[in-house]
């Protein structure tokens, strides 16, 4: 409950900040300054590891400022890099801390069952659809020592659609509401298809 209230307060604060500074934000968005790109890739990774601001907000801003392709690239790089960093910390540096962290999540046994069947497919599905919180996937994969290559490749593929969506929303938010609606509908249909495939896969494994 406290965590939910904290997120609500943060989002309301961000909305107020955007409302009171919308002219400055729009000016910053319309100024295409490629010299800041290295900093944006670094900040994307930083906010992925330490969510100073919600990553979805940052991702949308990247889409608004740099467009779909570059914005999605920044988002995708940052979230993949952050996922690998947290995996490595859980596996090699702070296993005791992260073990206690996982005790708060009751559904961890379900994720363990998926991992046991096929680690690559399990991680891929949990990246594509939010059936398990991303931090839990990162930490648990590191603690049980999933192969780094398997983990990274599944994360690289699975994170791409969501990061493209965030950039697309940011890119279209101030230009074409119709395109934004069409894009969101398409993404929902995509998620439903992935969800159907996930259920068929789990059912086949049970049988």
- What is the C-alpha separation between 48 and 40, in angstroms, rounded? 12
- What is the C-alpha separation between 90 and 170, in angstroms, rounded? 32
Judged by average pLDDT, the poorest of 31-35, 66-70, 90-94, 158-162 is 31-35
pLDDT cut 90: percent of the chain above it = 14
Judged by average pLDDT, the poorest of 63-77, 106-120, 132-146, 165-179 is 165-179
pLDDT at 149: 94
pLDDT at 105: 77
- What is the C-alpha separation between 196 and 190, in angstroms, rounded? 10
Q: Any alpha helices (H) in the chain, and if so which ranges?
A: 2-20, 22-30, 37-49, 55-88, 95-102, 108-117, 119-128, 134-143, 148-173, 177-206
Sign of the CA dihedral running 120, 156, 164, 133: positive
Render pLDDT for 7-26 as a digit per residue (tens, 0 to 9).
Answer: 566 656 655 665 566 566 55
Domain ranges in the chain are 48-206
pLDDT at 16: 66
């Amino acid at each position: 409950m406290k965590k939910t209230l904290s997120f609500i307060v943060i989002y309301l604060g961000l909305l107020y900040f955007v409302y009171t500074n919308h002219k400055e934000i729009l000016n910053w968005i319309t100024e295409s300054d490629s010299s800041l790109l290295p900093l944006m890739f670094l900040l994307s990774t930083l906010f992925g590891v330490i969510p100073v601001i919600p990553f979805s907000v940052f991702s949308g801003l990247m889409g608004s400022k740099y467009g779909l392709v570059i914005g999605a690239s920044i988002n995708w790089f940052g979230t993949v890099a952050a996922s690998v960093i947290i995996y490595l910390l859980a596996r090699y540096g702070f296993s005791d801390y992260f073990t206690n962290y996982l005790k708060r999540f009751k559904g961890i046994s379900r994720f363990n069952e998926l991992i046991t069947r096929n680690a690559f497919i399990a991680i891929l599905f949990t990246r594509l659809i939010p059936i398990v919180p991303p931090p839990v996937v990162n930490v648990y994969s590191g603690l049980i020592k999933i192969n780094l290559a398997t983990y990274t490749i599944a994360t690289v593929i699975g994170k791409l659609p969501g990061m493209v969506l965030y950039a697309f929303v940011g890119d279209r938010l101030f230009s074409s509401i119709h395109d934004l609606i069409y894009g969101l509908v398409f993404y929902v249909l995509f998620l439903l298809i992935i969800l159907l495939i996930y259920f068929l896969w789990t059912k086949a494994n049970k049988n």
